[in-house]
Amino acid sequence: MSVTAPPPASGRVRRSLTAAVVTALAATLLSVVPATTAQAAPVLLSQGKPVTASSQEHYGTAAGGAVDGDLGTRWSSAASDGQWLQVDLGSSVAISQVVLRWEAAYAKGYRIELSTDGTNWSTAYSTATGAGGNETIAVSGTARYVRMQGVTRATGYGYSLWEFQVFGGGDGGATLPGGGDLGPNVHVVDPATPGIQAKLDQVFQEQESAQFGSGRHAFLFKPGTYDNLNAQIGFYTQIAGLGLKPGDTTINGDVTVDAGWFNGNATQNFWRGAEGLTLNPANGTNRWAVSQASSFRRMHVKGALNLAPNGYGWASGGYIADSKVDGQIGNYSQQQWYTRDSSIGGWSNSVWNQTFSGVEGAPATGFPEPRYTTLDTTPVSREKPYLYLDGNEYKVFAPAKRTNARGTTWANGTPQGESIPLSRFYVVKPGTKAATINQALTQGLHLLFTPGVYHVDQTINVNRADTIVLGLGLATIIPDNGVTAMKVADVDGVKLAGFLIDAGPVNSPTLLELGPQNSSADHAANPTTVQDVYIRVGGAGAGKATTSVVVNSDDAIIDHTWVWRADHGEGVGWETNRADYGVRVHGDDVLATGLFVEHFNKYDVEWYGERGRTIFYQNEKAYDAPNQAAIQNGSTKGYAAYRVDDSVNTHEAWGLGSYCNYNVDPAIVQDHGFKAPVKPGVKFHSLLVVSLGGQGHYQHVINDTGASTVPAGTSTVPSTVVSYP
């Protein structure tokens, strides 16, 4: 959203027998891997490295399948003895361990061979009685190339490996410690801490208008009661209670976001958050005037909540989850808002798109006027992990999954979930290299990113089921040299939360990937979740990425994200921060709750997976398109803000809005805001498109349905469709 915003008035065949067998086998393999701790040994060196083989059985079992970290892909050879698989580590390094994860077709006799030049080989291990399954082999030597040389097959098939893993490292595999202090940008206070208000004020002064600055801060309040505080929250600042429940930490005062820094305009109050506190507002009403990428979670406001800035100026959207507001929420000038699994005393008015799911006290659906879209429950949800104190010990609480959720997780006692000691986390601090981060993950540690900006020169690979990657204070990851910032394997229950990925100046093909291509494992019982993870291309400087987020894994939950190609700041221009696609979903049964995606050069959201669902979607088309030709999509004028592929048979979405503000060429026309196949299983509810001040227009809302925005002229009146088809 920009300062110029006007004031309000393929579907894959899934879970086939083959996929089920692969999934079951992968699960079996995972179950027999010993649980690793901070005392686990060396660094995984082979994953993603160049790999060659003597042969492959048929298409789909190439050598790369054995070094991709995915237990659903494999290499298999021709059905003859003497086949080999070899990985190039890039440089000579001390080798300490090789792990062979065999498919049913394994080697009875084989050698592990080492070479520094790829020509002269030495044998580090040899056996004629291989047992198959998972074999962990201690080896010793220095090598750039490591080879599994098959001698005798155990079956009539070839040799087949799910994974070929080589471990070692320059220091012989020294382990990284878990736990430790939280670094200089985490401010932990208790009721007896002197100067709390002064420290809050100091950080706010630094962060109030630092929209693209490098400062990052988290204020963590130990359980207790704090009197007469007004915590003003600026950019890249998080405030949170350290209790297990919001009632453990009470502030008699306010947690405030206002827009004085921007002349009463709150449309750029991004990147901040409040969690886990009980508030008794000084005058009975707490002010939280934010826009995108600002979360309000596990909060109890014993009074009212005002979502508008002082003076009721412009504001452009936000997110509340797992919270209780005893009084009324004053929406006022908020153009769009999503509230999930909460309890509220009332809601004041609607503007364009106010959406609720699982909210006690929410207004009934009234779309198109008032513009409320309300679902009684949220189909599936799992709250964001959070840091808390159990006595004097830091732990991270990972809430349990809920189905058909309604109301908060904590109102009726202790929330359900798992507590994990901080000693099982690698505490990442500014200056930490990507190789070290990956070493920690390989050791079996979770990640806690402390507030800061992190440059990574290699992809962060999250390959272990149930791994938590949690950021404090909007920790920011910048990929260097065009790498993908983070990839998650096709495993159960990974939890990503509370950080920002900022594209680097060299184009990245993707910034965040959930699962490799053709992922097929069933994660319905334990999905991967992405929460308060924000993506930015440009704004803080030059940045490019072809596609920001790719979701290949099934059953993933995207719960509150802002994926933004910058429309203002540094490094901004139609080609300067080129980013064609925002979010692409290939996985089946993916749920998005609170999806904000804006300004991409082509499609903002594309959905190829079956049975996808979106509850609340907010979009703006790219402001800076130079002319109609720049966004011509074949015979179609413009790229839809949200497109469901023609191959999809089942899809459903509620509460969607797309806005155009073509301020370079106001004559630009979009044929439609939304595009979807016309099929009985593809359903949309409560859609609208808006021309902001007449800067460009939509001909239709979805496909060829819905009135043009042209008759409204410059008065910014939405065109709506209640249901489609």
* 418 in catalytic set: no
Q: What residues contact residue 679 under an 8 Å CB cut-off, 6+ apart?
A: 648, 649
Question: How far apart (Å, rounded) are the C-alpha atoms in residues 371 and 349?
Answer: 9
Look at residue 636 and give its three-state secondary structure: strand
What is the helix (H) or strand (E) element at residue 52, kind and residue range? strand 51-53
Q: Identity (one letter) of the amino acid at 257? A: V
What is the helix (H) or strand (E) element at residue 435, kind and residue range? helix 434-442
Look at residue 17 and give its three-state secondary structure: helix
CB 389 within 8 A of CB 421: no
Show the tokens assigned to 335.
């153009």
Question: How far apart (Å, rounded) are the C-alpha atoms in residues 700 and 706?
Answer: 5
Show the tokens assigned to 489.
């394997």
Tell me which residue of 317, 224, 265 sits closest to 657, measured CA to CA.
317
Do you find a cis peptide bond into 725, omega within 30 degrees of 0? yes
Look at residue 468 and give its three-state secondary structure: strand
Show the tokens assigned to 431.
């200056």
DSSP annotation of 601:
S
Q: Identity (one letter) of the amino acid at 563? A: V
Q: What residues contact residue 582 under an 8 Å CB cut-off, 6+ apart?
A: 535, 547, 548, 549, 563, 565, 597, 598, 600, 603, 604, 605
φ and ψ of 126, to 5 deg: -150, 140
Show the tokens assigned to 604.
């903002």
- Give the per-residue SS3 of 416-458: CEEEEEHHHEEEECCCCCHHHHHHHHHCCCEEEECCCEEEECC
In angstroms, how far is the first alpha carbon of the chain from the final one? 29
Tell me which residue of 323, 468, 318 sits closest to 409, measured CA to CA.
323
Question: Per the residue annotation, which of 208, 570, 620, 652 is the catalytic one?
Answer: 620
Question: How far apart (Å, rounded) are the C-alpha atoms in residues 161 and 555?
Answer: 27
Active site residue ranges: 620
